[in-house]
């Protein structure tokens, strides 16, 4: 059997004891990648002295994968251009300790700033190749700020390979003068063991959703760019038309209180469930209990929740942004609308609820996206960069 390569994964977007639902896509990818690689994870906890911190273990295990949670200093809302440097200085001691017993061959990291910027400095210090992955907001939002944009583009240029989760993100980076051959699109996957069709009546009974009624589901952060405000407006339109429809919001975030106030103001309290964060197994139940998944986002990469909904046989109504058109490429899987248009969104939801969807066809579409294939492709990419770096080291180094 071929010897496994040694990979160090760095990202603050990783589940921990205080927030077990944080960026579960990273946890899934790393677990599947561990079939081909030896991996250790450094998942820093963003830390400031006067902010309350939950009980998070510094060192834990995800199966056989060691995970470290060092504190990464930052100043909330100030000096964001220094976050990458603070991050690097905060975790370097942890990296040195790991290196004593685990001579990693390559660094893999996602979230271009500050995580990947810090990983670039670590790669330079230890003369290791590093591969970065852009997820969405790190390109769509952070590159609007000149200093962060410069650091992000420097990180991309210095990386041995840059990955994106959608073609749309790749195009945005290429527009900044990065050679297209330096960037590779790698779609995320879905865990079919968790997300699969279940009996709707049985699931609804388990969740206490009786008697039957049309249910729309939203899963994601409650942040302004997620467009949940427009979804509530769309629900109000449907309710005014005497439609017996309810909405479940799974997730949390800075806009939750504002959205709760809006729901009360619009007299929709008996129509909207705020369910907070949920474990994957519970999200699967809510998906199977729902008639539609709705993503009213103003910007996106490729949302994993769409892939997960399809694996459950659930159609999707989503906005035409980011990488969504790349995967919602057939009317058999859902409906797309323009962002920030509550009236069009309401019409699409009504159409989606009245359409006779082919559940099996929807589920088959989800099979195009698997963590097994994602991990196999990522392993090949990482291995190739290690081989290239081995040749370059004879000259000027690989970073």
* Predicted structure pTM score: 0.89
User: In terms of domains, do 22 and 63 share one?
Assistant: yes
Average pLDDT estimate for 246-273: 95
Domain total in the chain: 2
Closest CA to 280 of 373, 371, 348, 201: 371
User: In terms of domains, do 234 and 160 share one?
Assistant: no
User: In terms of domains, do 264 and 225 share one?
Assistant: yes
- Domain residues for the domain of 250 are 200-366
> Domain containing 323 — which CATH number?
3.40.50.2000
Confirm whether 328 is domain-assigned.
yes
Mean pLDDT, the chain, rounded, equals: 93
What's the pLDDT tens digit per position in 215-230? 999 999 999 999 999 9
User: In terms of domains, do 238 and 353 share one?
Assistant: yes
What's the pLDDT tens digit per position in 80-139? 999 999 999 999 999 999 999 999 999 999 999 999 999 999 999 999 999 999 998 899
User: In terms of domains, do 351 and 387 share one?
Assistant: no
User: In terms of domains, do 138 and 124 share one?
Assistant: yes
User: In terms of domains, do 175 and 237 share one?
Assistant: no
User: In terms of domains, do 16 and 157 share one?
Assistant: yes
What's the pLDDT tens digit per position in 303-320? 999 999 999 999 999 999
Q: What is the pLDDT of residue 396?
A: 56
Helix residue ranges, H only, the chain: 24-33, 83-101, 117-126, 137-140, 146-158, 167-174, 200-207, 228-240, 256-265, 280-289, 304-311, 324-327, 342-354, 359-366, 371-392
């Amino acid at each position: 059997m071929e010897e496994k390569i040694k990979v160090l994964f760095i990202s603050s977007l990783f589940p921990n004891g205080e927030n077990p639902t944080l960026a579960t896509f990273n946890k899934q990818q790393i677990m599947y990648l561990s079939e081909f690689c030896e991996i250790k994870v450094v998942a820093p906890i963003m830390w400031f002295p006067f902010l309350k911190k939950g009980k998070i273990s510094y060192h834990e295990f995800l199966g056989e994968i060691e995970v470290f949670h060092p504190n990464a200093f930052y100043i909330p809302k100030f000096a964001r251009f220094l976050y990458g440097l603070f991050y690097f200085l905060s975790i370097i001691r942890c990296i040195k300790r790991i290196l004593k017993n685990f001579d990693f061959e390559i660094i893999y990291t996602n979230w271009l700033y500050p995580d990947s910027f810090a990983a670039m400095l670590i790669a330079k210090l230890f003369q290791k190749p590093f591969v970065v992955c852009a997820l969405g907001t790190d390109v769509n939002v952070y590159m609007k700020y000149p200093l962060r944009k410069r650091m992000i583009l420097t990180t991309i240029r210095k990386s041995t390979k840059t990955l994106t989760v959608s073609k749309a993100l790749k195009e945005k980076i290429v527009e900044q003068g990065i050679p297209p051959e330096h960037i590779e699109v790698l779609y995320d996957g879905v865990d079919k063991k968790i997300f699969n069709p279940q009996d709707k009546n049985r699931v609804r009974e388990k969740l206490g959703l009786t008697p039957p009624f049309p249910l729309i589901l939203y899963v994601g952060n409650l942040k302004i760019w997620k467009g949940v405000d427009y979804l509530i407006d769309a629900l109000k339109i449907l309710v005014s038309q005497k439609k017996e429809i309810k909405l479940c919001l799974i997730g949390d975030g800075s806009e939750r209180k504002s959205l709760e106030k809006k729901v009360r103001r619009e007299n929709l309290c008996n129509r909207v469930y705020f369910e907070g964060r949920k474990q994957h197994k519970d999200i699967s139940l809510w998906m199977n209990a729902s008639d539609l998944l709705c993503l009213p986002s103003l910007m996106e990469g490729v949302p994993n929740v769409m892939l997960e909904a399809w694996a459950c046989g659930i159609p999707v109504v989503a906005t035409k942004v980011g990488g969504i058109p790349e995967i919602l490429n057939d009317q058999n899987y859902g409906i797309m609308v323009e962002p920030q248009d509550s009236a069009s969104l309401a019409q699409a939801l009504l159409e989606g609820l009245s359409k006779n969807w082919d559940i099996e066809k929807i589920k088959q579409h989800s099979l195009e996206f698997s963590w097994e294939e994602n991990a196999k492709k990522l392993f090949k990419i990482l291995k190739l960069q290690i081989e290239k770096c081995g040749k370059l080291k004879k000259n000027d180094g690989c970073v």
